[in-house]
Amino acid sequence: MTLNWRNIGLFVGIGVLFFLEGIWDWKIGSDASEQFTIFAGSWNSMLVIVNLCLISSIMSLGVNMQWGYAGLFNTGIVGFVALGGLAPVLISSPQVPEIWVGGGIYRLVAGLALGVAVIAAAVALYGRTTGRTRALSMIALLVGGFFLYRAVLDPAVTFIESNNPATYGNVGGLGLPTLLSWPVGALFAAVAAWVIGKTALGLRSDYLAIATLGIGEIIIAVMKNEDWLDRGVKNVIGIPRPWPVPREIELQASSGFQEWVASMGWDPVTTSTILVKLLYGSLFLTVLLVLLWACEMALKSPWGRMMRAIRDNETAARAMGKDVTKRHLQIFILGSAICGLAGAMLITLDSQLTPGSFTPLRYTFTIWLMVIVGGSGNNWGAILGSFLIWFLWIKVDPWGNALMYTLTQGMEDGSTLKDYLIESAAQMRTISMGLILLFVLRFAPKGLIPEK
């Protein structure tokens, strides 16, 4: 990013928005039942938004790598984020001792390994045989392997799911530190990206879009339905917090904190909640800064120049001897891994995994919007876009309600039109996000901070 007044002004402008959210209590409406918040005037509310902005920024960095550096169109971001979110559940949740027996987790792992082995064998066999032998042996291997896999896996799944289903009913975790689950989340997403990239990259660009759309939906479907893995729609709660972040209650109980708050004359409850959010925020900010630094260095390096060369003219790059498909695969894996990392961080922040909350609108298209609005190919732009779009995403709802309320002030109470208008404010978010995308794409295709 060039350091000019325009770009600084953009960041300052966003900063002002967040400052207003923290300091200015502005509500529209007469009585308490009909109030719409323009700005909350609460630092807590502001920090909630900021933390999600930081996580979204990391996702945008990942997407920006794929789209901005390499021109790959990934429409399955939601899947990679969700897969990363699985890591805190499997790594950091407390162990469930009852299932660490022969018929339980060991059998489960054996079953899964068998499944992978069958697929690997099929791939190997495919390369070594031809003609009718190939067809017959593939069918025999895949059908036989499938039934064998189910025969090994199914009893283990039944056993695990029947173990105290109200609380567990899943494999539980390993009880390892929560921070460790973040890189593991990135790893999960990277493995999925390798599989999908191997098949769909190197084909046409829309095919990648369609294929990733599919993988996103399938990952979400698996997480919603495989109860043994993550309790499905019953959700996993109580994922431990990462290392420096205490629970609010512990904080309020500690005598040192009480003295400090008393000496400053602050409210202990509010202070503790703000402090926890600040700690989370500084963790996220550290990760973001490290990634940003790495991305900037990568972009400046010969590797980054090669990537952009490939993006701008694939044929020319190929003629120069660059292995385009391999580079694409590399960057697809890297970008998806970053999305997985962000997913793990998101679940850590919430302390719970709710597979039902992963919708493409929220996690795929919004992240796309952030990258495009900020400026494709520009890391600082991706971050700016994330802060702006997430702020709007949160605020469009109450602002829409406030607008409808103001518009319908003069109307009679109980009139159909008034009710209809107030109800329809709920659709403002979808429409406005779509319009922003269309307008930016049409009138400022390079985004707020254009790539040099």
Partner 1 sequence: MDFLNALVAFLNFVFIPATAYGAQLALGALGATLIYGILRFSNFAHGDTMAFGTAIVILGTWWLQSHGISFGPLPTALLALPFGIAVTAVLVLATDRMVYRYYRRVRAKPVIIVIASMGVMFVMSGITRFVIGVEEIKFSDGVKFIIDPNAFKAATGLSEGLALRGTQLITVVTAAIVVAALFWFLNKTRTGKSMRAFSDNEDLALLSGINPERVVQITWIIASGLAVIAGTLYGLDKTYKAFNYFSLLLPIFAAAVVGGLGNPLGAIAGGFLVAYSEVGVTYAWKKVATYLLPESLAPDGLMQIISTEYKFSVSFAILILVLLFKPTGIFKGKSV
3-state secondary structure the chain: CCCCHHHHHHHHHHHHHHHHHHHCCEEECCCHHHCEEEECCCHHHHHHHHHHHHHHHHHHHHHHHHHHHCCCCCCCHHHHHHHHHHHHHHHHCCCCHHHCCHHHHHHHHHHHHHHHHHHHHHHHHHHHCCHHHHHHHHHHHHHHHHHHHHHHHHHHHHHHHCCCCCCCCCCCCCCCCHHHHHHHHHHHHHHHHHHHHHHHCCCCHHHHHHHHHHHHHHHHHHHHHCHHHHCHHHCECCCCCCCCCCCHHHHHHCHHHHHHHHHHCCCHHHHHHHHHHHHHHHHHHHHHHHHHHHHHHHHHCHHHHHHHHHHHCHHHHHHCCCCHHHHHHHHHHHHHHHHHHHHHHHHHHHCCECHHHCCHHHHHHHHHHHHHHHCCCCHHHHHHHHHHHHHHHHHHHHHHHHHHHHHCCCCCCCCHHHHHHHHHHHHHHHHHHHHHHHHHHHHCCCCCCCCC
Q: Which of 110, 152, 180, 213 binds partner 1 (CB under 8 A)?
A: 213
Q: Is 139 in the site for partner 1 (CB under 8 A)?
A: no
Amino acid at 452: K
Binding-site size for partner 1 (CB under 8 A) equals 43
- Residue with Cβ nearer partner 1 (292 or 421): 421
- Enter the tokens of residue 223: 């997480």
**Candidates 77-85, 314-322, 357-365, 405-413; binding stretch for partner 1 (CB under 8 A):** 357-365
71 binds partner 1 (CB under 8 A): yes
Is residue 365 part of the contact set for partner 1 (CB under 8 A)? yes
What part of residues 416-435 is at the interface with partner 1 (CB under 8 A)? 424, 426-431, 433-435
**Cβ distance to partner 1 smaller for residue 79 or 242:** 79
If binding is defined by CB under 8 A, does position 360 make contact with partner 1? yes
The distance of closest approach from Cβ of residue 365 to partner 1 in the complex, given in angstroms and rounded to an integer, is: 6
- Does residue 115 interact with partner 1 by CB under 8 A? no
CB of 400 to partner 1, least distance (A): 11
- Report which of 246, 283, 100, 101 is spatially closest to residue 175, judged by C-alpha positions: 100
Q: Answer whether 226's CB lies under 8 Å from 161's CB.
A: no
Q: How many CB atoms lie within 10 A of CB 254?
A: 13
Question: Of the listed pieces 89-97, 112-120, 222-230, 248-256, which binds partner 1 according to CB under 8 A?
Answer: 222-230
> How far apart (Å, rounded) are the C-alpha atoms in residues 171 and 161?
8
Choose, by CB under 8 A, the member of 49, 215, 288, 344 that binds partner 1: 215
Task: Report the residue number, 261 or 310, with the smaller CB distance to partner 1.
Answer: 310
Tokens 């709660």 appear where? 237
Closest separation in Å from C-beta 283 to partner 1 = 32
Contact status: 397 vs partner 1 (CB under 8 A): no
Pick between residue 93 and residue 366 the one whose CB is nearest to partner 1. 366
Q: Are 321 and 61 in contact (CB under 8 A)?
A: no
- 189, 372, 373, 449: which one binds partner 1 (CB under 8 A): 372
Shortest distance in whole angstroms from residue 370 CB to partner 1 = 13
Q: Give whichever of 120 and 438 is closer to partner 1, judged by the CB atom.
A: 438
41 binds partner 1 (CB under 8 A): no
**Selected binder of partner 1 within 117, 140, 297, 438 (CB under 8 A):** 438
Q: At what angle do helices 205-225 and 178-200 cross, to 10 degrees?
A: 140
Please report how close the Cβ of residue 57 comes to partner 1 at its closest, in angstroms: 20
356 binds partner 1 (CB under 8 A): no
| 224 to 243: interface string for partner 1, x by CB under 8 A | xx------------------
Binding residues among 151-210 for partner 1 as defined by CB under 8 A: 199-200, 203-207, 209-210
Candidates 437, 446, 450, 451; binder of partner 1 (CB under 8 A) is 437
Residue 444 beta carbon to partner 1: minimum distance, rounded to whole angstroms: 13
Cα–Cα distance between 376 and 51 in angstroms, integer?
Answer: 23
Nearer to partner 1, 12 or 233 (CB): 233
Q: If binding is defined by CB under 8 A, does position 73 make contact with partner 1?
A: yes
Q: Please report, as ranges, the residues that interact with partner 1 according to CB under 8 A.
A: 71, 73, 75, 146, 199-200, 203-207, 209-211, 213-215, 217-218, 221-222, 224-225, 360-361, 365, 368, 372, 424, 426-431, 433-435, 437-438, 441-442, 445
